[in-house]
A and B are shown apart, each in its own frame.
Chain A
Amino acid sequence: SQQGEEDPQALSIQEGENATMNCSYKTSINNLQWYRQNSGRGLVHLILIRSNEREKHSGRLRVTLDTSKKSSSLLITASRAADTASYFCATDTSGGSYIPTFGRGTSLIVHP
């Protein structure tokens, strides 16, 4: 079963709007990461947030983490057509081994 699950499965917005996607996970984590995948290609790392952090920014990206709810959100502000991609959250586990475990992703389409 997937450790992280993204929501919504698909999101369609207009250029300039903000896009928010959520990730829920099941077990305790050391960190949570967000990745982006352009159609049929490899994943690109976007941002890492540690379990003792609540919010992190990188350019137009804002990530929050709520460990009490076992959830995270990724906000992309002022979206662009080039942001069209699938976005995945990945969690490690707290069991000592680092194995990035992914959800099914959110497919984001930004219309120009």
Chain B
Amino acid sequence: EAGVTQSPTHLIKTRGQQATLRCSPISGHTSVYWYQQALGLGLQFLLWYDEGEERNRGNFPPRFSGRQFPNYSSELNVNALELEDSALYLCASSPGLAGEIAFFGPGTRLTVL
């Protein structure tokens, strides 16, 4: 069974640009979570999607947004990139609202120059 996949592996952007990160959950999982892991700050919860709807978002500005597609894959968009957006962005999936274990992808390393 394929795990959670994320693309791209690495992404380099300049300040002010937009970044799009993608995530494909494990087959059958309907929930997708996005986390930001900046150096030394642990995992910060960004967004949670389930069944195509945004269920919750963390304490991040509106320039962090995303969506979940009918096949449950998800996209994270970061507009007007700032230097402090440089981080590892992790996607996780779980079987749905009752899911108890989140399965993580390998992450996308975003570098903003």
List A residues at the B interface (Cβ < 8 Å).
2, 30-31, 33, 35, 40-45, 48, 88, 90, 92, 97-105
Contact = CB atoms under 8 A, between A and B. Distances in A.
Q: State the 10 A-B residue pairs at the shortest beta-carbon distance, nearest first.
A: A104-B42, A42-B104, A102-B43, A43-B104, A42-B106, A100-B102, A45-B101, A42-B105, A42-B107, A41-B106
Contacts of B102: 43, 45, 90, 100
Interface string B13-44: 00000000000000000010101000011110
8 contacts: A2-B42, A43-B104, A45-B103, A88-B42, A88-B43, A99-B48, A102-B42, A104-B42
Contact of B33 (A33, A48, A100, A104): A100
Interface residues on B, range: 20 to 34
B76 interface: no
Given A100-B92, A105-B42, A33 B106 contact: no
Contacts of A41: 106-107
A70 B98 CA distance: 23
Given A40-B109, A43-B43, A99-B45, 9 more contacts: A31-B100, A33-B100, A33-B101, A45-B104, A88-B42, A97-B55, A101-B45, A103-B42, A104-B42
B104 A98 contact: no
Contact of A42 (B4, B42, B98, B99): B4
A98 B102 CA distance: 10
A103 B45 CA distance: 11
B97 interface: yes
B81 interface: no
